[in-house]
Chains A and B, each alone.
Chain A
Amino acid sequence: MTTTVTTPPPDGELPRLRLDKAPLLVLPILALLALPLIGSFPTWVTLTVAGLAMGMMIFIMASGLTLVFGLMDVLNFGHGAFVSVGAFTATLVLLPMQGWMQADSVLMNLTALGLAIALAMLVTGLLGWAFERIVVMPVYGQHLKQILITMGGMIVAEQMIHVVWGPDQIPLPLPASFRGALLIGDAAIEKYRLIAVAVGLMVFVSMFLVLNRTKIGLLIRAGVENGEMVEALGYRIRRLFVGVFVAGSALAGLGGVLWGLYKETLTAAMGSDIMVLVFIVIIIGGLGSVGGCFIGALLVALVANYTGFLAPKIALVSNILLMVAVLLWRPQGLYPVAKR
């Protein structure tokens, strides 16, 4: 057995843990590099805001998944089902309340949308609870089975959407007050994208506060690092996991509603389609890291928007290239979580 003798630092001082700023700097550097390539400042502003909005929505969908993986080492390939179910559930409120959605009143628009989001999060949260109990729990610790059974779960969910809502696409127009664009100078910024950015920031700040200012948050952070030790301190990690799974599913439902309104069309496969981006984001961010997931989502979306404008042919593979570049720089992701 090899042991290393550890002595305290001579002056008793320790290196303070500094915030790793390098991943944070990547975003502004990327944006600044894109500006001369794009050539037009208004176009750059429009693309950047579009990228930030898309990134926020991907973050909302991905944040629960990264915590689930970090906390219990579960590969949930069925996470996209909650995105689709959330979006379709919202139509149960939004379609009957079309009058409110198309009314020229911000209050009526927000009320309808708020009710739709609440129902979508409630249904996807409950679905997440059932999914964890029935599908995920029997395959703890078995990654291959997790991949197979959770993908199966997503296929079943998609087919159930076909059964309930039919096979056709469902149009989901934006509320009247969220349509159109704001003109700032020569730059046109869609109102809905600004709202998506605001909602994404609210979700991120809320998660940050919960994770850093509450005992539940402490337990989640500790559980991501060493779940066994959390159990040994007397906490039931499985209950915590179920709670995180439910919250992550509800957030995916919220992301589904936002994504559906962004696309203005719903398909049963919308969840599985976005999962490739979601997985790239959580791998780039560092599995289990909410902060990394946030930066990763913005990075993926900005790269997709910039390359879509500058080199549409490369746009299809731009995120894969981005993931390769990030992993060559930081093999554990932008903000790796310390694991036991």
Chain B
Amino acid sequence: MSEPLLQLTGVHTHIGQYHILQGVDLVVPRGELTVLLGRNGAGKTTALRTIMGLWHASRGALLFDGEDITRAATADIACAGIAYVPENMGIFSDLTVRENLVLAARAGVPDTARLEWIFGFFPALKKFWNQAAGTLSGGQKQMLAIARAIVEPRKLLLVDEPTKGLAPAIIQSLIAAFRELKAMETTILLVEQNFNFVRSLGDTVAVMDDGRIVHGGPMVDLAEDRELQQTLLGLSLDAHQ
């Protein structure tokens, strides 16, 4: 395993009176795609939001690239090199595709070569460049959300359930994009419930339940062990194929 880029140690997060994360220990190795699996309500989204500083850990420590970001502000965490694609995609509906990407490019104007590279995966974004993002289809919005996260090189991408509600054809283009990002050694922490989507993408996997990490290791081990899948995820692979 590569050296860790992100490390969560004993992280607890409270939202109001609710104790959501109950001591999460998670390592995201540099240059790898780590998948965070778990049923609804296990705490996966809370983990991502805590990393991003949108909710602060009440206990524990978060280290990113050697820096302590436990109490850091969201904007500082983003500037440190973490891009976030939330579950609801978080695109700005009233802004055009171009304006969404201009905002994401902190350097000012998006790099043309990088844009062309992104258009290679998501040609719809080029076609609807000056169209309000709110008029895009769900799949195109997800493409825009991911494009916004990669419009400039980032050290770490946090992506929350990108396949949720999408048609299979669009999921295939997302797989191609993630493979390309992996080939460029981009570090990714991907939250998913669609095991078939991530089984061939992930290098490492962590499974959450009740606010804790209950399993961690190479994806290949989980992908090849149906009994383990049944135990951890409660799924029959046959039913998913």
Contacts and interface: CB of A to CB of B under 8 A. Distances in A.
A14 B135 contact: yes
B159 to A, nearest CB: 12
B74 A218 contact: no
Nearest to A219: B103
Contacts of A230: 103
Given A16-B131, A225-B92, A338-B94, A234 B165 contact: no
Given A17-B131, A17-B134, A8 B52 contact: no
Interface in A228-249: 228-237
Contact of A231 (B74, B106, B127, B139): B74
Nearest to B167: A7
Nearest to B41: A1
Most buried by A among B92, B94, B164: B92
A6 B94 contact: no
B99 A218 contact: yes
B78 A340 contact: no
Contacts of A5: 165-167
A293 B88 CA distance: 29
B95 A3 contact: no
Given A6-B166, A232-B52, A218 B103 contact: yes
Nearest to B109: A215
B74 A8 contact: no
Interface in B74-112: 74-75, 78-79, 84, 86, 88, 90, 92-95, 99, 102-104, 106, 108
A222 interface: yes
A225 B128 contact: no
A5 B142 CA distance: 13
B40 interface: yes
A125 B86 CA distance: 36
A7 B90 contact: no
Contacts of B40: 1
Interface residues of B, number: 41
B101 to A, nearest CB: 11
A6 B139 contact: yes
Interface string B156-180: 0000000011110110000000000
B110 to A, nearest CB: 13
Given A8-B124, A8-B139, A14-B135, A231 B166 contact: no
A16 B170 CA distance: 22
B54 interface: yes
A174 to B, nearest CB: 40
Contacts of A3: 164-165
A228 B94 contact: no
A15 to B, nearest CB: 6
Contacts of A231: 54, 73-75, 78
A250 B202 CA distance: 54
A14 B131 contact: yes
Contacts of B54: 228, 231-232
B33 to A, nearest CB: 20
Contacts of A43: none
A6 B137 CA distance: 7
User: Which of A228, A232, A233 counts the most chain B CB atoms within 10 A?
Assistant: A232
Contacts of A15: 135
Given A6-B165, A7-B139, A222-B95, A234 B131 contact: no
Contacts of B127: 12
A14 B141 CA distance: 12
A259 B216 CA distance: 67
A221 B131 contact: no
A337 B140 contact: no
Given A5-B167, A233-B78, A233-B103, A17 B135 contact: yes
A218 B75 contact: no
Top 4 A-B residue pairs of the complex, sorted by shortest distance between their CB atoms: A6-B138, A234-B78, A229-B90, A17-B132
22 contacts: A3-B164, A4-B165, A5-B167, A8-B124, A8-B139, A12-B127, A15-B135, A16-B131, A16-B135, A17-B132, A218-B103, A219-B103, A221-B94, A225-B92, A228-B54, A228-B90, A231-B74, A232-B54, A233-B106, A235-B103, A236-B73, A338-B134
Given A1-B40, A7-B170, A221-B95, 6 more contacts: A6-B137, A6-B139, A9-B137, A15-B135, A232-B74, A234-B106
